Structures are given as structure tokens and as C-alpha cells.
């Protein structure tokens, strides 16, 4: 059985092993695959493993041997599911492997704003503490999270994990979600979306990208936020009107933004957020802790093994 990995670099940049997957068949690993080579590289394959490389209808119709597509991610929009269903090709994904890692990244961004460790450590390296008349100093006010209002837009597994961390810091939790529409002391206070924006000291995005949520962070809602508020987005880039956010940051309408996702990835150098005031962008890496990638590798192998045993699991339905 021929197994083709189209973009192995994403899951395994060199610190994991493909050996367990290799035990299941003849393994061919490509670190990256451009769209025009997907069909050629998958020729004769019974199994394709992909993360972001597109598996389109055009490709699928040229692969008569293909039986299985394993997506090394939770999202599966890279695969043409209706075509797979027509051709009886099983598609699986890996849910929930990165929940704690993403929640941790949210607070890495939050704590970056509250304590500004990088700036203070840099000032020490530059000699400011050595020449300072006092034993302690702050470059600017640093903040405590206790008592602040953490708004969570979307209350799935990651949103709930972020809420747990927020409560551990003594924060009040505000929530807007289709599945959470009543106050619950164990979780938080349910609010309409506009009120979530206006009441949050820190607003963290965790909702799926749908026609209703696309550009939900827009000029009007940003205008309604506190000028001391911070926006965190580790969900999907198109949730944010990027020009509107850049304008809000430059004008001081909100205090800052921590982003792990953008509307186009890799982004254009012309993206207005890259150089926006108090905007700190990480390269869509919140999911990618070593622990999360180990779980992802293990589940990718298990998904294929279960399929080969005739007991497929984590199957994505069209």
C-alpha cells in the first residue's frame, strides 16, 4: 500500500518520527507540495496524508487507487468531501489535539500586554537597571488580570479551556456563543455580541468562520470597545476586518491586539496589521507545541490503522 504525505514539514519539522506510519505501508514523504504537483505525487497512492495541501475534485478523479485521505488537522476544508463521498474515499481528521496549546498561546499574548516582559528584559540588557537609582522600575504601568473581564466569542473546547485559565487568574468570564445563551456561574455571563465587545477588557476569538462571523470584528464593533481593551485572535483570520483593526490600533481606539492568524497565510508584506501600533503577530503557531504535535502524529497513525482494520474513526462526513 502506497502512503503519500503531501506536506510533512507542518506536522514534523524534524523532531518527530514517521516510523509508526511507515509500518502501515510504503511511505513517501514530501515536505511541501505545490498545487501543480499534487496529482503527480499522489499517483498510485491508496492513502494521502495532508495538512494544508489541497486535495481537489480534479485531483481525486485522477486517482483510481485512492481509498483514504487523512487530514493532520481538525479543519478539513482542504479536501473535496462530496467528491470523496461519490468515490467511497474515507476522510478523517484529528479533533481536539491542540486545545490546551491554543489556550496557552492566548495567555502568552495576554501576558505579553500585561507585563511587557520583552521590553523590560531588553531595558535591563541595555543597561538601564545597572544605571538606575532605584532597585525597581517599570517602563510603564503593568496590569493585574484579577477582576478584569475576559470576553470569549465562541465557546467550544478551546473557548472553554481559555475560560478555565481566565478563572484561575481571577477574571470574570463573558461569553457569546450559539450554544451558550444563559448565565451559568460555572462558566460565565452570556451576552449579545455587541455587548461582549463593549464590556470586555480582553476579547478572545474562538468561533468558527461562517458567513455570519466573517469580519465580525469590524469598524463599528471596534468603535464600541474600551480604549484600554485588547483583542486576541487564535481562531481564523477572516473573523477580523484587518484594515478596520489596523485603523483602530493606530488611532488608539483599542489598546492592542495579539494575533496568531491572518486572512491570508503567509501574509502579504502589505497587510496593514504587520506594522500596526501595538499589534503583535505570531505565525499561526498556537497549535504547534511539541506535545500537541505528538498527539497529532499518534492520532494520525491511529486513524489510518483503524481504517485498515475496517473500523474507521474520526470520519468526516460530506
pLDDT tens-digit series, residues 213-227: 999 999 999 999 999
Rounded CA separation 91/67 (Å): 9
Q: Which of 174, 177, 242 is nearest to 206 (CA)?
A: 177
pTM for this prediction: 0.93
Query: 230: helix, coil or strand?
Result: strand
44-82 in b/e form (b: 16+ CB < 10 A) is ebbbbbbbbbebeeebbeebeebbbbbbbbbebebbbbe
Q: Which residues participate in catalysis according to the annotation?
A: 236, 265, 284
pLDDT recorded at residue 196: 97
Read off the pLDDT band of 317 (50, 70, 90). confident
Find out whether 75 and 69 touch, Cβ atoms under 8 Å. Answer: no
The overall average pLDDT reported for the chain is 96
Read off the pLDDT band of 315 (50, 70, 90). very high
Other beta carbons within 10 Å of 224: 15
List domains and CATH numbers for the chain: 2-97+290-308 (3.40.50.720), 99-281 (3.40.50.720)
- Residues near 59 by Cβ (< 8 Å), separated by ≥ 6? 38, 39, 42
**β-pairing, 2-5 with 47-50?**
parallel
Read off the pLDDT band of 171 (50, 70, 90). very high
Provide long-range contacts, Cβ within 8 A and 24+ apart, for 181-187. Answer: 187/155, 187/160, 187/163
pLDDT tens digits, 91-117: 999 999 999 999 999 999 999 999 999
Read off the pLDDT band of 184 (50, 70, 90). confident
Question: Largest Cα–Cα distance of the chain, in whole Å?
Answer: 76
Amino acid at each position: 500500500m502506497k502512503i503519500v504525505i503531501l506536506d510533512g514539514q507542518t506536522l514534523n519539522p524534524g523532531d518527530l518520527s514517521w516510523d509508526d506510519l511507515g509500518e502501515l505501508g510504503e511511505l513517501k514523504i514530501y515536505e511541501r507540495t505545490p498545487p501543480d504537483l499534487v496529482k503527480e505525487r499522489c499517483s498510485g497512492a491508496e492513502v494521502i496524508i495532508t495538512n494544508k495541501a489541497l486535495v481537489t475534485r480534479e485531483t481525486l478523479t485522477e486517482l483510481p487507487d485512492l481509498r483514504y485521505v487523512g487530514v493532520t488537522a481538525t479543519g478539513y476544508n482542504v479536501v473535496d468531501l462530496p467528491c470523496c463521498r461519490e468515490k467511497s474515499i474515507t476522510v478523517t481528521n484529528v479533533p481536539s489535539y491542540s486545545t490546551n496549546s491554543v489556550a496557552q498561546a492566548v495567555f502568552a499574548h495576554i501576558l505579553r500586554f500585561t507585563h511587557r516582559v520583552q521590553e523590560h528584559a531588553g531595558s535591563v540588557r541595555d543597561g538601564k537597571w545597572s544605571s538606575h537609582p532605584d532597585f525597581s522600575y517599570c517602563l510603564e504601568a503593568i496590569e493585574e488580570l484579577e477582576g478584569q473581564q475576559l470576553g470569549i466569542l465562541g465557546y467550544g473546547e478551546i473557548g472553554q479551556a481559555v475560560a478555565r485559565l481566565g478563572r484561575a487568574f481571577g477574571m470574570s468570564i463573558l461569553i457569546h456563543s450559539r450554544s451558550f445563551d444563559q448565565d451559568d456561574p460555572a462558566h460565565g455571563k452570556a451576552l449579545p455580541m455587541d455587548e461582549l465587545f463593549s464590556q470586555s477588557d480582553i476579547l478572545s476569538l474562538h468561533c468558527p468562520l461562517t458567513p455570519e462571523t466573517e469580519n465580525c470584528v469590524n469598524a463599528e464593533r471596534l468603535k464600541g470597545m474600551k480604549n484600554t481593551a485588547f483583542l486576541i485572535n487564535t481562531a481564523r483570520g477572516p473573523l477580523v476586518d484587518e484594515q478596520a483593526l489596523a485603523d483602530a490600533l493606530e488611532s488608539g481606539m483599542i489598546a492592542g491586539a495579539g494575533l496568531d492568524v491572518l486572512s491570508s497565510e503567509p501574509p502579504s508584506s502589505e497587510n496593514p496589521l504587520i506594522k500596526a501600533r501595538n499589534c503583535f503577530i505570531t505565525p499561526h503557531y498556537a497549535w504547534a507545541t511539541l506535545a500537541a504535535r505528538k498527539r497529532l502524529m499518534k492520532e494520525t497513525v491511529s486513524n489510518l490503522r483503524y481504517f485498515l482494520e475496517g473500523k474507521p474513526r474520526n470520519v468526516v462526513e460530506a
